[in-house]
Chains A and B, each alone.
Chain A
Amino acid sequence: MQAGKRPNGMRRFCDGNPVYRIAINDADGENVRTMLETPETNITLQVSNITKRFGEFTAVEDLSFDVRSGRVFGFLGPNGAGKTTTIRMIVGITAPDEGSIKLFGEPMSFALQNRIGYLPEERGLYKKMKVVDQLKYFAELKGLSGQAADKKIDFWLERMKLSEWKRKKTTDLSKGMQQKIQFISTVLHDPDLLILDEPFSGLDPVNVEFMIDVLSEFRSAEKTVIFSTHLMSTAERLCHDILLINKARKVVGGSLREVKESYGTNLISFRGENAGSVLGDRSLVERVVSHADEQEIHLAHGVVPQRLLKALIDGGAEIGKFEVTEPSLNDIFIEKVGGHSDEPAAGVNAAAMRK
């Protein structure tokens, strides 16, 4: 990985957020992060060097990251990487052994829980309770008064097209409906930070699209969404920023753009004739992978695409296609996590709860 900074040193985000930020990982995978001109108020969540151990087992080790307000933050990693443990620390279910968590600029406290909406991966509803009663209870636990809750419940049931199920018991609902009820319980109190653990599992494609619509409303309302998933395509579609962790540690993080670019600038899809000699030049090209119709060129260290393009043109190659491609999040995930993504999750979960 590149150890040095990019030539221009900083980058303005295209969505107009006045935050200048660079996230670059050095060769050891140790994160070196520079934050410039970042007002504290724009940070919803600041996680600093947190570590959580359960006996011998370290579930999260020295993890630091920020989540900026008004953005969708993808929290990625294979099963057992420490995602759920980290989320539990963020929502205040457990406390980190070391390090600190600041939410809305304040240290994590029970009072702040009211501003978080949390949809756990393991979902649950009271089986024999009416939908409206459970929602009201969960809303009251988030500090909402009964009347305010009633209004919100009606609004959200209408929004989710579940109004007619208001007085039904959980056991009468389909799994997808239960999922939506769960979601309503997470957003009823109008949280400033929404944390969704695998929000789309168990939903059919129509409902996934529907939920994405609802989520984008949150984004535009300057609310922050953190969502954890192992579906890279979803993350790629929704997230502004990502954080990939593996084996309790951070692997890569930053805006989706940055992350992709830091992997992507050395990859070129190429189709053309008379390029053999240039492509054979080890000072320009590290290796070439031939596919059926085109070639995938991996640039040598420190070579920018323009230099190769110039060399090809100068060398008289006939170019059919020359495209700087970015790797998909899936490629990055596989490269970074490798074959370790199948860690026994059950063991970790059990260990994570031992304390």
Chain B
Amino acid sequence: MRKFLAVVKHEYKKVVLKWSFLIGTLLLPFLAACFAFVPVIIFSLQGEPTRIAIADPTGKIFERVERNLSSERMAEKARKAARDSIGQIDAAQDEKMRNTAAQFVQDFVLVGFDPSGRSVDAVRSDLVKKIMADEIDAYLIVPENYNDAAATFEFRSRKGGDFVSNDTLQDAVNDAVRSQRLADANIDENLLAQINSAVNFDAKGLNEAGEEKNSDGVFFASFAIGLMIYITLAIYGQAIMGAVVEEKETRIAEILFSSARPFELMLGKLVGVGLAGLTQLAIWVSSAMILIGFLSMQPEFQMVAASVPSITPLMVVYFLVYFLLGFFIYASIFALIGSMVTTVQEGGQFAFPPIMIMLSAFYFCFAVIRDPESPLSFWVTMAPFLAPITMPVRILAETPPPWQIALSITVNTAAIGVLVWIASRVYRVGMLMYGKRASLPEVWKWIKQA
């Protein structure tokens, strides 16, 4: 047992302490996080509020803009947008929106500027002077003929690139002018809003039991899960093969075999590398969860976050179980290949069939996503070799009855038993055979005899 643990530790460290592992495991989520976090952080870091002078010769627009930029109005707008896109919003989300809106409002300081009958040119030169004297940051000149569709609202700012603020201001001005136009035309604004509101289109899938489920984003999430399992299996399977070939090539096998049981060595190798794979998956999954959690707090990303299918802890357990099943199946095949061949390059040719099986399992995922209840989906999620990739996808798309999951786990565990048994026999003999690659009949003989 102690030796077994020594092998596990050795193999685990060998994978985990490699640069490629560190980069793949830590840097990837870090980069993803950067792409998500950095813009949000940067935009929340605006220090100085923008001082805007509004020259409103009509005296009607300024107040409305000011009102539109109040925190209540901003929160109201966000709430309405959220309701349109994601339906229900709860109290916590509402609170969050109010805070965001309040923060947003602080970005603007509106300053009244009385043009009092002067010409537009005189007003403009005055405002520009104020900007140059750093009294204001931007100005807006409201045209007198604001009712005319062709009228131009002149907005000039020293912070021309601050598109978020500019957009918000533009929205506020738009709304203000529209409200004023409606008032001028004697139309009740609230009535119009009511008439204009979009229908509430409630689209949801039904599962077998007739319960509603959210089908948004299932395709992409399932695809992502299938791809993730496929990639990790391929990477770690080949890592095993490389490790086996190295021990054979460098003749370390002979020292190992004179120190511990071949079965111990082989299982230790599988478990060690498998744990390394689990570590990577765990880091990926948890960083993905943190990322999604963070994004769902940002109003801008709420639409995306809401479409991620709900993943229960049980599902996560299933994914890890199937990853392990797949890992042991493919890793023992790769270990077998590694002990048959003499170089990694030679192993690459033999790695083609298992890779093809994995790839076909990945393609079957599409059929499973489209119709998780079809007979095809049933069989490909039961079959050994295929199930480790297809079943997690099916569970995510539509969780099958427990007996099917149990059956599929049983079938694949049995397959692992057979494969590890075969592989450790080939390993025992093949690892000490130098010089030439073993032929398939020879390997068959080892399996029967050893």
Contacts and interface: CB of A to CB of B under 8 A. Distances in A.
A354 B254 CA distance: 15
Contacts of A137: 6, 10
Given A113-B259, A122-B254, A141 B7 contact: yes
A141 B433 contact: no
Contacts of A305: none
Given A141-B3, A355-B446, A122 B260 contact: no
A228 interface: no
A143 interface: yes
Interface in B1-26: 2-3, 6-7, 9-10, 13-14
Interface in B414-435: 429, 432-435
Interface stretch (B49-57, B88-96, B149-157, B245-253): B245-253
Nearest to A346: B435
Interface stretch (A123-131, A242-250, A277-285): A123-131
B259 A126 contact: no
A196 to B, nearest CB: 12
Contacts of B450: 355
Contact of A120 (B7, B9, B254, B433): B254
A354 B250 CA distance: 19
Contact of A113 (B9, B260, B442): B260
Contacts of B118: none
Contact of B260 (A110, A120, A346): A110
B258 A116 contact: yes
B254 A353 contact: no
A91 interface: yes
A123 B255 CA distance: 8
Nearest to B249: A124
A266 interface: no
Interface string B242-273: 00001101111111111111000000000000
Interface residues of A, number: 31
Contacts of A127: 246, 250
**Residue in B259, B435, B449 whose Cβ sees the most chain A Cβ within 10 Å:** B259
Nearest to A182: B255
Nearest to B250: A124
Contacts of A140: 2-3, 6, 9-10
A88 B256 CA distance: 12
B261 A110 contact: yes
A306 B139 CA distance: 131
Contacts of B249: 124
B428 to A, nearest CB: 9
B53 to A, nearest CB: 67
Contacts of A142: 259
A141 B6 contact: yes
Nearest to A350: B435
Interface in A98-130: 110, 113-114, 116, 118, 120, 122-127, 129
Contacts of B258: 91-93, 113, 116, 118, 120
A133 B10 CA distance: 9
A69 interface: no
A93 B450 CA distance: 12
B432 A93 contact: yes
B260 A126 contact: no
A125 B250 contact: yes
Interface centre among B6, B7, B254 (most CB of A within 10 A): B254
Contacts of B13: 133
A113 B246 CA distance: 23
Most buried by A among B7, B10, B435: B10
Contact of A125 (B7, B252, B254): B252
Contact of A354 (B253, B260, B442): B442
A57 to B, nearest CB: 14
Contact of A138 (B9, B246, B259, B446): B259
A141 B256 contact: yes
A141 B255 CA distance: 10
A138 B432 contact: no
Contact of A353 (B247, B250, B429): B429
Nearest to A129: B14
B149 to A, nearest CB: 72
Contacts of B256: 141
B245 to A, nearest CB: 12
Contacts of A88: 254, 432
Given A137-B6, A141-B7, A355-B450, A93 B257 contact: yes
A143 to B, nearest CB: 7
A349 interface: yes
Given A113-B260, A141-B259, A143-B3, A349 B254 contact: no
Nearest to B2: A143
Contact of B433 (A92, A110, A116, A354): A354
B314 to A, nearest CB: 38
The 3 closest A-B pairs by CB, nearest first: A124-B250, A124-B251, A140-B6
23 contacts: A88-B432, A113-B258, A113-B260, A114-B259, A116-B258, A118-B258, A122-B254, A124-B249, A124-B250, A124-B252, A124-B253, A124-B255, A125-B250, A126-B250, A137-B10, A140-B10, A141-B256, A143-B3, A350-B435, A354-B429, A354-B433, A355-B446, A355-B449
Given A140-B9, A353-B433, 14 more contacts: A118-B254, A118-B258, A120-B254, A124-B250, A126-B252, A127-B246, A129-B14, A141-B260, A143-B2, A185-B255, A349-B434, A349-B435, A354-B429, A355-B429
